[in-house]
Structure 1
Amino acid sequence: MGFVRVKARIWNIDQPSRSAEVELLADTGAIYTVLPASLLRSIGVEPVTKRRFRLADNRVAERDVGFVGIEIRGARSYTPVVFGEEGVYLLGVVTLEELGLEVDPVKGVLRPMELLLM
């Protein structure tokens, strides 16, 4: 299986006309979606908190976190987003679950997930 990449539209929750089209790498090891801070600021997204994250190289970094609207293949939600470094476009598992999507590792695509209500 290769990488699972997907096109998405993100927008400023308070000003939905401020939006951007992005291509994201679905990363089941990432809790939150990560986008370049410059992109988020360009559509007017403001941080609401800071969180500490362990990075792939085992370093710990503190990053700003805000919220965006996101749409992938017709599924829409609001989701937390980390203000990341340039060139980082990751789709995290929180966003995947909010959209009702999961990674199909055999086919290398996103598919609707079975949602549980128990």
Structure 2
Amino acid sequence: MQRIPIDTGAFFTILPSEILFEIGAYPEDLKARLELERGDSLEAQVYSVVVAAQGREDVTLAVTFEGAQPVLGAKFLEDLGLNVDSESGLLEPSRHHGFAFNYEP
């Protein structure tokens, strides 16, 4: 699989339909309305996708639409428990693998 850029300003992972079909993504019975940077919006098909990074694997949601360019969004990072290090640009754990959140009383 190719390297895909991360955009923490994007909620969903965005993938062209060809990639979604190639990896066997599961189409959900719903659509998402996306607000684009230039101010307009569009409707996108939602898929469930198995993703992996940094030795972690989980299911996340991805969307596709005409002209979609591959981008990993914030939901991808949250679902895998990862952050982007602001200095190095590398992925780092935000929580222990397998936990949905960290709780500290």
TM-score clears 0.5: yes
Provide the aligned C-alpha RMSD in A.
1.8
Identity percentage of aligned residues: 34
TM score, norm. by length of structure 2? 0.82
Match status 1:68 vs 2:54:
no
Q: Secondary structure at the match of 2:2?
A: strand
Q: 1:81 aligns with which of 38, 62, 75?
A: 62
Structure with higher strand content: 1
Kindly state the Cα deviation for residue 105 of structure 1 after the two structures are TM-superposed: 1.2
Please list the CA deviations of residues 46-99 of structure 1 after superposition, one character each: whole Å capped at 9, or x if unmatched.
421111010111110000001010111211000001114456111111110111
Q: Which letter maps to 1:61?
A: L
Counterpart in the other structure of 1:107: 88
Q: Which letter maps to 2:102?
A: L
Q: Secondary structure at the match of 1:47?
A: strand
Distance in 2, Cα, partners of 1:32 & 1:87: 12
Distance in 2, Cα, partners of 1:67 & 1:117: 27
Q: Secondary structure at the match of 2:4?
A: strand
Counterpart in the other structure of 1:47: 27
Distance in 1, Cα, partners of 2:103 & 2:74: 18
Report the count of equivalent residues. 98
Kindly state the Cα deviation for residue 25 of structure 1 after the two structures are TM-superposed: 0.8
Please list the CA deviations of residues 11-68 of structure 1 after superposition, one character each: whole Å capped at 9, or x if unmatched.
xxxxxxxxxx131111110001111112112333342111101011111000000101
- Structure 2's unaligned 5+ residue stretches are 96-100
Distance in 2, Cα, partners of 1:112 & 1:56: 28
TM score, norm. by length of structure 1? 0.74
Distance in 1, Cα, partners of 2:41 & 2:24: 27
Distance in 1, Cα, partners of 2:23 & 2:79: 22
